Amino acid sequence: MKFHKYDTVIVGAGGAGMRAAIEATKRSRTAVLTKLYPTRSHTGAAQGGMAAALANVEEDNWEWHTFDTVKGGDYLVDQDAAEILAKEAIDAVLDLEKMGLPFNRTPNGTIDQRRFGGHSRNHGEAPVRRSCYAADRTGHMILQTLYQNCVKEGVEFFNEFYVLDQLITEVDGVKKSAGVIAYELATGEIHVFQAKAVIYASGGTGKFFKVTSNAHTLTGDGQAACYRRGLPLEDMEFFQFHPTGIWRMGILLTEGARGEGGILRNKDGERFMEKYAPVMKDLASRDVVSRSIYTEIREGRGCGPEGDHVYLDLTHLPPEQLDAKLPDITEFARTYLGIEPYTDPIPIQPTAHYAMGGIPTNVEGEVLSDNTTVVPGLYAAGEVACVSVHGANRLGTNSLLDINVFGKRSGIAAAEYAAKNDYVELPENPEAFVVEQIENLRNSTGNERVADLRRELQETMDANVMVFRTEQTIKTAVEKIRELRERYKNVSVQDKGKRFNTDLLEAIELGNLLELAEVMAVSALARKESRGGHYREDYPNRDDVNFMRHTMAYREVGEDGSETVRLDYKPVVQTRYQPMERKY
Amino acid sequence: MATPVLDKVEKDSAASPYITVTFRIRRYNPEVSDAAVWEDFQIEIDPKERVLDGLHKIKWDLDGTLTFRRSCAHGICGSDAMRINGKNRLACKTLIKDINPEKPITVEAIKGLTVMKDLVVDMEPFFQAYRDVMPFLVTKGNEPTRERLQSAEDRERFDDTTKCILCAACTSSCPVFWNDGQYFGPAAIVNAHRFIFDSRDEAGEQRLEILNDKDGVWRCRTTFNCTDACPRGIEITKAIQEVKRALITRRF
């Protein structure tokens, strides 16, 4: 076991983690612990752009952006946070440009902007060009640019270090963050990191679905570490299904394709989005478009022999435009489907994409232990967190924005906290939980296999808590997940070694996914309304009287050791916008 | 009614798309043995699937000790560069049908970097070379309040080299790098190129001096292995030639 002491520890090196690291390293002695090499993070898979009301190509302002974000989130967005997001977006984009990000340019040399789903001029009048982009690899360029600037600033990375536990110590009745426990992949060694401040920036949980745009490594490790230590998870029932994943594979095809003029068509060649969203059409918000696609499929207008997908049609766009603006996604269609997008439409289906919920924070990135109490020294930013700027449904281009705005904020806040506060004493035997977890898995002779349980989890999630949900399907999922959690106790690994034991880590990741899947399903079961990404066929309308509130899920352990999810609720912060019916 | 499940087709379909494929994998685990050995695995797989899917089938269903890096699974994160049938590729961007599944598919770690276990290599020397070329924008004077202006043509000038995902397929396919690990290697030069030809940058001269070093750009023997290996289609050899030319003309 090795022991380390840092002012600030950041968990994760995607966009939010590295944006935080650039600020925290300037102000405090900082370590970044990341289970992947920094440039491997899934921020790099984001394609379409980053929203900011620069007004470089047409009239725009941050207030319109705030409104679109609140409306896009089906009014579950905390409006004070959305206002910060939209206001600080402009500097966030300019910061990245100054760091070197190669944005596409307008003829007069400023940052070019394009249309994206749900972003409108003057409160829904018409689509607006708000997304700042670098071809269809904006996330890649953000990740590269942030890593480049981490190199410039001399940020200290611990690569392939898996954070498996959050340390919390109670001081005078106040729960404070004391540090984290990490597992080093190369050696199997356990590391204790004592830190004044800890920032979680470890990404989403998409791998509990089967058809997903998420990387294999998105297993909710940060959410699980905090949840197991008694901290709540907010709005976990809200998961975004991106309308255009490659059929069966789930690989993301950017909404920017529709921003550039791409059209969704059913088997009759009909532009069906005109029926569902007369104004914004193919650029309605993602939840609306995903439901429309499945409605077409269910009503027998899907494409292919099984009628199980629809088409993204780019064939009317000039090949030069596809080459210049959408080179990567057209390449994906060629590589994985053998389809030439110049001449043939691309088969697509909705794909599990983004967790709106996560570790609850305030606008400084400070983690909450209930509706209002801050955990001193603990921060979260990016997809792992729930500020909540995305509410019930995130707008496209708002996540690359979120990681930059709240990554920066949490990096500054954590380093400033570390400068003013001393270390908190570590709990006794801080590594005990992780050592036991690893030894149990390594020594287990049980007959359950990780791959089987994960497959069954993903299948039940896709079938029961995806785009359409009912009491019945969610209950089926809850029961199945509980069964899988029971069976997980008998899971064993084949690799018993210490060196690069990815078999062991996959088992730990599965444990995290199972725990979070249960939180998600239980939260979804209790929300008897439809809002944003959470659509209940048995309760098809939004119910502002009973459910205009955030879900807060807590882990409760009974005296017999049994575990349950306890739900509580938190009011939504409303400032200038009253809830209205959501039409696109 | 539940969300329609879209992947029943394969199971129900009478004509199974699955074929039997042999993966011949170079195994190495110093915890077990000092010697590396080839091991064969037979799996059933749809030829439209990726080599990475095959590796997962082996790891998940046959041998959990098989070790490799992967994350995004669609050619963006750069984790899974490996030598497949003797050629550097990303396992997630290589479909079974495209590499002759009739014969055993050989899979081994990329060359020129120390193998740690199975297909996992020590990436540190690779990233160190990258860090040594100052891979970040350097500007002088006060920052403008708004963005720096750049014409679409100036932006286009270095577009190709911004695509790099640091997977090391190029560097570990370079015979010069195999023979002399001190050589910066193509990936580092690509990333220097990305800034040297960025009209906003003001440290081109410094980077050129770094690459003028004896382990720098002059070691390139123009074998085009790097260009062939690049999963992002970057014209790497051309980029290296442009850096060489800039060193001679001092115009960039």
Q: Are residues B128 and B223 in the same domain?
A: yes
Sort out which chain B residues have CB atoms less than 8 A from A498's CB and list them: 31
Q: Are residues B98 and B177 in the same domain?
A: no
* Domain-ending residue, one of B121, B150, B185: B121
Give pLDDT tens digits for A235-288. Answer: 999 999 999 999 999 999 999 999 999 999 999 999 999 999 999 999 999 999
B134 is a domain residue:
yes
Minimal Cα distance from A296: which residue of B?
B4
Give pLDDT tens digits for A17-45. Answer: 999 999 999 999 999 999 999 999 999 99
CB contact under 8 A, B74 and A45: yes
Residue to mutate among A22, A56, A105, A249, with most B CBs inside 10 A, is: A105
Q: Are residues B96 and B165 in the same domain?
A: no
CATH code of B155's domain: 1.10.1060.10
Q: Which residues, in sequence order, are bridge partners of residue A313?
A: A263
CB contact under 8 A, B67 and A151: no
Give the count of domains, chain B. 2
- Catalytic residue numbers of A, as ranges: 286
Name the pLDDT band for B13 (thresholds 50, 70, 90): very low
CB-nearest to A464 from B2, B73, B127 is: B2
B56 is a domain residue:
yes
B162 is a domain residue:
yes
**Model pLDDT, residue B8:** 45
Check: CB of residue A535 under 8 Å from CB of residue A468.
yes
Name the pLDDT band for B215 (thresholds 50, 70, 90): confident
Q: Are residues B39 and B153 in the same domain?
A: no
A499 contact B CB<8A: yes
Q: Are residues B229 and B212 in the same domain?
A: yes
Minimal Cα distance from B8: which residue of A?
A306
Sort out which chain B residues have CB atoms less than 8 A from A141's CB and list them: 162
Give pLDDT tens digits for A312-328. Answer: 999 999 999 999 999 99
Minimal Cα distance from B78: which residue of A?
A40
Q: Are residues B115 and B30 in the same domain?
A: yes
* Domain-ending residue, one of B121, B156, B175: B121
Q: Are residues B25 and B116 in the same domain?
A: yes
Residue B214 has pLDDT above 50, yes or no: yes
Mean pLDDT of chain A: 97
Check: CB of residue A554 under 8 Å from CB of residue A263.
no
Residue A397 has pLDDT above 70, yes or no: yes
Give whole-number Cα distances, A504 to A72, A158, A494, in Å.
40, 19, 8
CB-nearest to B74 from A103, A251, A468 is: A251
Check: CB of residue A32 under 8 Å from CB of residue A200.
no
Neighbouring residues of A544: CB distance < 8 A, sequence distance ≥ 6? A75, A579
Q: What percent of chain A has pLDDT over 70?
A: 100
Give pLDDT tens digits for A103-160. Answer: 999 999 999 999 999 999 999 999 999 999 999 999 999 999 999 999 999 999 999 9
CB-nearest to A499 from B1, B29, B61 is: B29
Q: How many CA atoms lie within 13 Å of A30's alpha carbon, on the beta-carbon side?
A: 32
Give pLDDT tens digits for A172-210. Answer: 999 999 999 999 999 999 999 999 999 999 999 999 999
**Model pLDDT, residue A390:** 98
Residue to mutate among A35, A39, A468, with most B CBs inside 10 A, is: A39
- Tell which wins on pLDDT, B42 or B11: B42
Q: How large is the average pLDDT for residues A552-580?
A: 96
CB-nearest to A140 from B30, B65, B76 is: B76
CB contact under 8 A, B6 and A40: no
B8 is a domain residue:
no
Question: Locate tokens 């020129």: which residue?
Answer: B112
Q: Are residues B29 and B128 in the same domain?
A: no
Q: How large is the average pLDDT for residues B16-29?
A: 96
Name the pLDDT band for B15 (thresholds 50, 70, 90): confident
Q: How large is the average pLDDT for residues B225-241?
A: 97
Q: Can you tell me the distance from the alpha carbon of A310 to that of A269, in angstroms, rounded to the nearest whole number? A: 9
Minimal Cα distance from B135: which residue of A?
A148
Neighbouring residues of A484: CB distance < 8 A, sequence distance ≥ 6? A453, A456, A457, A514
CATH code of B66's domain: 3.10.20.30
Minimal Cα distance from A101: which residue of B?
B137
Minimal Cα distance from A497: which residue of B?
B31
Burial of A187 per CB tally in 10 Å (0-12, 13-18, 19+):
middle
Check: CB of residue A335 under 8 Å from CB of residue A327.
no
B153 is a domain residue:
yes
Residue B1 has pLDDT above 50, yes or no: no
Lowest mean pLDDT of A547-551, B66-70, B174-178, B212-216, name the range.
B212-216
B7 is a domain residue:
no
Q: Can you tell me the distance from the alpha carbon of B124 to that of A37, in angstroms, rounded to the nearest whole number? A: 10
Handedness of CA A559, A565, A571, A572 (dihedral sign): positive
Burial of B96 per CB tally in 10 Å (0-12, 13-18, 19+):
buried
Residues 145-164 of A with CB under 8 A from B: 148-149, 151-152
Sort out which chain A residues have CB atoms less than 8 A from B119's CB and list them: none
**Model pLDDT, residue A223:** 98
**Model pLDDT, residue A205:** 98
Q: Are residues B234 and B189 in the same domain?
A: yes
State how far residue B206 is from chain A, nearest Cα, in angstroms. 15
CB-nearest to B67 from A98, A152, A502 is: A502
CB contact under 8 A, A335 and B95: yes
Single pTM value for the model:
0.96
Q: Are residues B85 and B186 in the same domain?
A: no
**Model pLDDT, residue B16:** 83
Residues B119/B122/B128/B131 CA torsion (nearest 10 deg)? 40
Q: Are residues B161 and B180 in the same domain?
A: yes
Give pLDDT tens digits for A469-479. Answer: 999 999 999 99
Question: Locate tokens 């920017």: which residue?
Answer: A256
Q: How many Cβ contacts (< 8 angstroms) between chains A and B?
A: 186
Name the pLDDT band for B180 (thresholds 50, 70, 90): confident
B6 is a domain residue:
no
* Domain-ending residue, one of B61, B94, B121: B121
If one counts every other C-beta atom within 10 angstroms of the C-beta of residue B145, the result is 6
Residue to mutate among B77, B128, B148, B230, with most A CBs inside 10 A, is: B77
Q: Can you tell me the distance from the alpha carbon of A115 to that of A283, in angstroms, rounded to the nearest whole number? A: 8
A104 contact B CB<8A: yes
Name the pLDDT band for B10 (thresholds 50, 70, 90): very low
Sort out which chain A residues have CB atoms less than 8 A from B90's CB and list them: none
B90 is a domain residue:
yes
Residue B209, domain extent:
124-249
**Model pLDDT, residue B250:** 81
Give whole-number Cα distances, B130 to A18, A158, A489, in Å.
18, 17, 44
Sort out which chain A residues have CB atoms less than 8 A from B93's CB and list them: 335
Q: Are residues B115 and B59 in the same domain?
A: yes
